[in-house]
Chain A
Amino acid sequence: MSSSGARAAPKKGENYELRADLNSEYRDKRKDAIKRVIANMTVGKDVSGLFPDVLKNMQTEDLEQKKLVYLYLMNYAKTQPELVILAVNTFVRDSDDANPLIRALSIRTMACLRAEKIIDYLSPPLQKALVDEHPYVRKTAAICVAKLYDLKPELAIDNGFIDTLKEMVGDANPMVVANAVTALMDIHITSQNMLESGAETPEGVAKVTWQINSAILNKLLIALNECSEWGRVAILTQLGRYKAVDERESEHICERVVPQLQHANGSVVLAAVKVIMIHMKHISSERADLEKQLIRKMAPPLVTLVSSAPEVQWVALRNINLLLQKRDDLLQNEMRVFFCKYNDPPYVKVEKLAIMVRLAGENNVDTFLSELREYASEVDVDFVRRSIKAIGQCAIKIESSAERCVGVLMDLINTRVSYVVQEAVVVMKDIFRKYPSTYEGVIPTLCANLEELDEPEAKASLIWIIGEYAEKIDNAEELLGIFVDSFTEDAYLVQLQTLTAVVKLFLKRPDRSQPILQRVLDLATKCDSPDVRDRAYIYWRLLSTDTSAARAVVMAHRPAISLPRTTVSPAVLEELISDIGSLASVYHKPAETFVGKGRMGAESMKKSILEDEVQAREAAIQKVAAGQVAENLLDFDDAPAVEGVAPSGIAAAVASTPGVSKVLTSSNPLDDLVSIFGAGGTAAAASSGGNDLAGLGGIVSPVSTAPPPGQGLAGLDMFGGASLPAAAAPTPAKPPATQPQDDLLGLF
């Protein structure tokens, strides 16, 4: 038998020796040989050639040896499909063994082999196992049905296994219930995937769908209190999928799930939070007390999660961040819990910081600021920068604290640590945007650090500040002159800001700044970046044609910035909240964006985009109607959004000023631009062209300045969201404003 292997075996080497030992007449020697085979397999050596020899040792009274042989089979069944068939007999015999452990082991392994040949023999033993007297066998069999369905759906359906599973949800043993629920859920997901890839028909899927009704709901709620921790997670997941028939039932579910918040296992806690968040929405409005109570009860368990191991903490923190976006009343008085520990891993610190910004309010801002100041003196540069950013976010979020925030920033700038100063300058710029003409007193301090700035963003920020307050800075020409001198060596981002700042200066003090303007325009129009060149030409032409139009464009009133309440769109937030604990909620991205193509329903993706679109449109209309526009603070950090504002402002001004419309029809650069975007040459159409242009500013510029790595799609989303208000903002024409936004959304 040993010589009947697939290939002629070598007469020497380790495998040769192993083969001899596997066929030894002594039991101990054979067992030892199997262990060595497994050891070789573990370190990645190919021992598939020993398949028949190992197989012979499968029939044994020794449980450990049996498990080892099974393990070997699982590994090599795919490469030796012809030989696996030899194992079937033993498997089938084992499935009748007196010991429930062996019975369960045999069907569990059989279903794991994933070999077509053996699957055909699985049905009869599985049939028996599903109704086995021992719950251990039944719970194992339940999962086997899911394995079988994954391999051969028709086999699972035709044998009535799915129906048996549905009955098992009513099993007396809670572990069996939990695994039956798990299996049904797994089958559901698999069937959806197959439907999408075309491997399964809607009728086929209908056969395996499992609807929870009120009777099943009660069984689940009872089993929930009795089963093991992981079983609870499975049941809670199903409760989250259940659609309650009325308000009473929603309340009932919430009340029954609340005790699970006390469970020591964090995944049970988060699963319970999820169920409560889902069903809380449907509680009748008269039971506001219950809702309040539920929110109150969720807080302490969430806080406790922050004391777990760092990895668990991080996952919990990501979810807490989402929950706070939905319910900002959830952890109102708990900010201290999120204070960073000195030895927290960086990924935990970053999350804690984000959550603290969310929780910051007038009552706790002082403690928060003193914490931030402490963080700003740590050694982790990335964390220090984020802490300084948080100071800015604080100032923008809480108006009454702005002055104290500025004070802290000034202290930090005085430390003269390069990266601290640079970040503080960037943050100061945001504060200037939010509170124009309030903190001009600090400008000299900022300008004193001009030499220290070498990062494009910090440079651009300072230049913007100088341009904005040029009339109040005596030596503005001189300061900007420094940047004009180094113009050709600077990043595009800095070049664009320098250009705009000089134009602002010229408009404010035309007498003194003519030479510097000429110099910067000369340099910029010869720049190799089309963005810089185009902007320079536009300014040039505007200035030479009509300075009042230029003034309207360059010095246009900009909308105030504010902190976005959510980092994802409302529809996505809703989806993520109902999926708390999942990878999607940890990444803060909808599942479709990271699971492989064809795995998740394209249907649902379309739907959510559609919903998104509807919501965004509504929001845009509301904004326009209300005449107030908020702009995303985050985007200014990545500067391009600001660049987006400028060109759109131009187009708007172009459209609204009849005098300039001649320029539009007759002269080249803008005309070219407009025609690129397919808008007609008429003044009426130009307004929509302007919007497209703004949108493009938002889309194209981030590419040229390279968005921060790792943000991927979220980054794109952000810019998409950003260019919306940017596009809507300066355009006086109201109704058509929604049109281009649809186009924009289409792009994403």
Chain B
Amino acid sequence: MASLVAILDLKGKPLIQRSYRDDVPPSYIERFLPLILEFEEEETQVTPCFTHQGINYLHIRHSNLYLLALSKGNSNAVEIILFLQRLCSVLVEYFKELEEESIRDNFVIIYELLDEVMDFGYPQTTESKILQEYITQESHKLDITAPPAVTNAVSWRSDGIRYRKNEVFLDVIESVNLLVNANGNVIRSEILGAVKMKCYLSGMPELRLGLNDKVMFESTGRASRGKAIEMEDVKFHQCVRLSRFENDRTISFIPPDGEFELMSYRLSTPVKPLIWVEANVESHRNSRIEYMVKVKAQFKRRSNANNVEIYVPVPDDADTPKFRAATGTAQYVPDKSAFVWKIKQLGGSREFLMRAQFGLPSVRNTEETERRAPISVKFEIPYFTVSGIQVRYLKIVEKSGYQALPWVRYITQHGDDYSLRTVVERGNTPGGGPI
């Protein structure tokens, strides 16, 4: 449980706060930032939870805000941190962007939300779809507000939803995380998959989703046509009946209305890098540094990767960039200490080269160790999944018996960590040293 929840700006000033239990005075909010600064000064690690003089401070960062919860007892830390995270996404859904200004402009509604998402320090409803039904930005009259679905057994969907055309859109999105070491070996790879839905269905529909899930095929003894995949860990939206899945791997649920993430899964089967990047770096200390970057699309010819962006790190003090690319455009991004090579569309099995040259200052501190960030890559490949996951069927049953059409889309993209470590190049400088 949390005694108090507050949103602070970067200077540690509370923008809005709500006390849920009276056991921690609000004045402790103002001690939060000084404590953090003190830790930084002492070179102690600043962690998301810490305790000071009997008060526990739990916080998360969102753009330039702190969301802080204070508690006195031995509270459930995971719950509180996740609650703050959830609060954050609720506010983002309400105001598009959560920042100082949107908080100041909407303090009334935030107070209302704070009153609803937590009671006496215990999280209650954090489902923004439901909250939006009875806490709205337009001022409302008493008689309009219908009792909410907050406490239904189906707490995520209201009764009486009607659509003229019943449709479901399924997006299967796979994000690839990959780490390649300087020798060119893949040392870590994983696929994080998500099935996102947009549901425009009337009434209380019962949905059943069939995937080419290996475990399910095996347990039912059914021979699979084509490839079956083995998902390592599957996570479901709260609408999915977990015990049913545990029993016979059936994914059955009553969906929330509109957009939501139905499930996510993870596979750690080794992945061949879809976009391979090699950089040859030649550093002439105190004069210039030259890059030769090669990109290779390692997937079938009929697919295309869109919006490929390759970030190649350069020294902080590099200057006067010169680029020559066989395709796409290259650009220097000084605030990221990198240059980016953008390719609008990269066909399967294609290969391209680019060269870049930067000037280096003639005088530099030799003691200084150079940051060695990895090359990172962004891309998306539509109509393709690395894992080979397939939606076999999506059955929609509603008591009124309407027909509904499911639409399925596949896409593979970069994860938040698709990186290739650069080779330690020892330019023709005496003494070597880390570069």
Could you tell me which A residues sit within 8 Å of B by CB distance?
A: 31, 35, 38-39, 42, 61-64, 67-68, 71, 99-102, 108, 114, 134-136, 139-140, 143, 146-147, 150, 173-176, 179, 182, 186, 189, 225-226, 228-230, 233-234, 237, 258-260, 262-267, 270-271, 300-301, 303-304, 307, 309-312, 314-316, 319, 336-337, 339, 341-343, 346-347, 350, 367, 370-371, 374, 377-379, 382, 415-417, 579, 581-587, 591, 594-597, 599-600, 709-710
> Across the interface, which residues of B come within 8 angstroms of A600, CB to CB?
73-74
- Residues 173-209 of B, flagged 1 when their CB comes within 8 A of A and 0 if not, give 0000001011000011010100000000000000000
Are the CB atoms of A42 and B16 closer together than 8 Å? yes
Interface centre among B72, B74, B416 (most CB of A within 10 A): B74
Check A582 against B434 for contact (C-beta < 8 Å): no
Closest to A585 in B: B77
Q: How far is the CB of B338 from chain A (nearest CB, A)?
A: 12
Q: Which residue of B lies closest to A316 (CB)?
A: B78
* One of B105-113, B320-328, B355-363 contacting the partner: B105-113
- Known A-B contacts A189-B73, A230-B123, A339-B188; the reply to A415 vs B372 at CB < 8 A is no
Contact partner, A38, options B78, B111, B115, Cβ 8 Å: B111
Chain A nearest CB, measured from B51 CB (Å): 4
Contact A143 B122 (CB under 8 A): yes
| B243 adjacent to chain A (CB < 8 Å) | yes
Q: Is B266 an interface residue (CB 8 A)?
A: yes
A63-B142, A64-B140 are contacts. A264–B79 as well, Cβ < 8 Å?
no
Chain B, range 369-397, C-beta contacts under 8 Å to A: 369, 371-374
> For the complex, is B400 an interface residue (Cβ under 8 Å from A)?
no
> Of all chain B residues, which has the CB nearest A419?
B369
Give the residues from 12 to 34 in chain B that come closer than 8 angstroms, CB to CB, to chain A. Answer: 15-16, 21-22
Contact between A595 and B111 (Cβ–Cβ < 8 Å)? no
Alpha-carbon distance A147/B187, docked complex (angstroms): 53
Do the beta carbons of A595 and B73 come within 8 Å of each other? yes
CB-CB under 8 A for A136 and B150, given A101-B145, A314-B47: yes
B266 and A39 within 8 A (CB): no
Cβ of B431 to closest chain A Cβ, rounded Å: 9
B233 / chain A contacts, CB cutoff of 8 Å = 300-301, 303-304
User: Within the assembled complex, what's the spacing in Å between the Cα atoms of A339 and B188?
Assistant: 8
Q: Is the CB of A264 within 8 A of B150?
A: no
Contact A143 B120 (CB under 8 A): yes
Name the CB-closest residue of A to B155. A228
Q: Which residues of A contact B107 (CB under 8 A)?
A: 38-39, 42
Contact A260 B77 (CB under 8 A): no
Closest beta carbon of chain B to A6's beta carbon, Å = 22
A78's nearest neighbour on chain B, judged by CB, is: B22
Give the residues in chain A near B74, CB-CB below 8 Å: 579, 582-584, 591, 594-595, 600
B48, B120, B181, B241: the one within 8 Å of A314 (CB): B48
B303 within 8 A of A: no
**Residues of chain A lying within 8 A (CB to CB) of residue B179:** 339, 341
Complex Cα spacing A587 to B75, Å: 12
Task: State A301–B234 Cα separation when bound (angstroms).
Answer: 8
- Cβ-defined contact, A265 with B82, below 8 A: yes
List of A residues within 8 angstroms of B21 by Cβ? 150
User: How far is the CB of B389 from the nearest CB of chain A, in Å?
Assistant: 16
- B39, B147, B233, B263, most chain A CB atoms within 10 A: B233
B151 A176 Cβ-Cβ under 8 A:
yes
Q: Complex formed: what's the CA distance from A600 to B75 in Å?
A: 12
Which listed residue, B60, B140, B151, B190, touches A63 by the CB 8 Å rule? B140
| Shortest CB distance A409–B (Å) | 16
Give the complex CA separation of A99 and B146 in angstroms.
Answer: 8
A347 touches B238 (CB 8 A): no
**Residue in A228, A262, A371 whose CB lies within 8 Å of B234:** A262
Query: 14 A–B contact pairs at CB < 8 A?
Result: A38-B111, A61-B141, A139-B151, A179-B122, A263-B238, A264-B261, A307-B190, A309-B60, A311-B48, A311-B59, A370-B181, A371-B187, A581-B78, A586-B77
Name the residue among B85, B122, B148 with the largest chain A CB count within 10 angstroms. B122
CB-defined contacts of A377 to chain B, threshold 8 Å: 369, 372, 424, 434
Is the pair A374, B181 in contact by a Cβ cutoff of 8 Å?
yes
Q: Is the CB of B148 within 8 A of A136?
A: yes
Query: Quick one: which of B39, B73, B142 contacts A61, CB cutoff 8 A?
Result: B142
CB of A234 within 8 A of CB of B122, answer: yes
Residues of A within 8 A of B365 (CB): none
Closest to A65 in B: B139
Residue in contact with B76 in the complex, picked from A136, A233, A339, A378, CB distance below 8 Å: A233
Contact with A along B46-72 (1 / 0, CB 8 A): 111101001010111100000000011
Residue of A nearest to B415 (CB): A307
By a CB distance below 8 angstroms, the chain B residues around A415 are 433-434
Chain B residues with CB below 8 A from A38, complex form:
107-108, 111
CA distance A581 to B155 in the complex (A): 25
By a beta-carbon cutoff of 8 Å, the part of chain B in contact with chain A is 1, 15-16, 21-22, 39, 42-49, 51, 54, 56, 58-61, 71-79, 81-85, 107-108, 111-112, 115, 119-120, 122-127, 134, 139-143, 145, 147-148, 150-151, 153, 155, 179, 181-182, 187-188, 190, 192, 232-238, 241-243, 245-246, 261, 263-264, 266, 268, 369, 371-374, 416-417, 419, 421, 424, 433-434
Min CB distance B152 to A, Å, is 8
B247 nearest CB across to chain A (Å): 9
By Cβ-Cβ distance, the 7 closest A-B pairs, closest first, are A300-B233, A596-B54, A135-B151, A591-B74, A259-B242, A259-B246, A311-B48
Complex CA gap A584/B56 in Å reads 11
Q: Which residue of B lies closest to A339 (CB)?
A: B188
A341 to B417, CA, bound (A): 7
B122 near A315 with CB under 8 A, answer: no
Known A42-B16, A175-B150, A189-B73; judge A309-B145 contact (CB<8 A): no
What CA separation (Å) do A307 and B263 show in the bound complex?
Answer: 15
Given contacts A264-B235, A336-B188, A709-B42, contact A303 B112 (CB under 8 A): no
Q: Are A304 and B246 in contact (CB under 8 A)?
A: no
Inter-chain contact A262/B75, CB cutoff 8 Å: no
Give Cα A415–Cα B369 distance, bound, in whole angstroms.
Answer: 11
Tell me the bound Cα distance from A173 to B153 in angstroms: 7
* Residues of B with C-beta under 8 A to A347: 45-48
The answer to whether A99 and B79 touch across the interface, beta carbons within 8 angstroms, is no
Kindly identify which residue among B46, B71, B81, B192 contacts A307, using a CB–CB cutoff of 8 Å: B192
Q: A382 near B43 (CB under 8 angstroms)?
A: yes
CB distance from A670 to the nearest CB of B (A): 39
Partner of B241, one of A225, A339, A350: A225
**For A175, what are the chain B residues with a Cβ–Cβ distance below 8 Å?**
150-151, 155
Complex contacts, A596 vs chain B, CB 8 Å: 54, 72
The chain A residue sitting closest to B109, CB to CB, is: A64
A229-B238, A309-B60 given. 9 additional CB < 8 A pairs? A64-B108, A267-B79, A270-B78, A311-B61, A311-B84, A339-B188, A378-B372, A582-B75, A596-B72
Residues B78 and A346 in contact, CB atoms below 8 Å apart: no
Known contacts A99-B145, A417-B434: A67-B75 contact under CB 8 Å: no
A108, B122: Cα distance in complex, Å: 13
> Which residues of A lie under 8 Å from residue B76 when comparing CB positions?
233, 237, 267, 271, 581-583
Q: Shortest CB–CB separation between residue B167 and chain A, in angstroms?
A: 24
Q: How far is the CA of A367 from the CA of B46 in the complex (A)?
A: 29
By the criterion CB–CB under 8 Å, are A263 and B51 in contact?
A: no
Cβ–Cβ < 8 Å partners of A260 in chain B: 242
Q: In the bound complex, do residue A263 and residue B44 qualify as a contact, i.e. CB atoms below 8 Å apart?
A: no
Contact partner, B120, options A100, A186, A311, A336, Cβ 8 Å: A186
Q: Which chain A residue shows the least CB distance to B39?
A: A710
Contact of A337 among B43, B79, B119, B268 (CB under 8 A): B268
Q: How long is the Cα–Cα vector from A722 to B246 in the complex, in angstroms?
A: 47
User: In the docked arrangement, what's the CA distance between A315 and B77, Å?
Assistant: 7
Are B108 and A300 in touch, CB under 8 angstroms?
no
Instruction: Provide the bound-state CA to CA distance between A378 and B313, in Å.
Output: 14
Write out the residue numbers on chain A whose beta carbons fall within 8 Å of the beta carbon of B245: 259, 262
Cβ of A294 to closest chain B Cβ, rounded Å: 13
Contact check, A599 vs B153: say whether CB atoms are below 8 A apart: no
* Set B56, B82, B147, B419: member contacting A99, Cβ < 8 A: B147
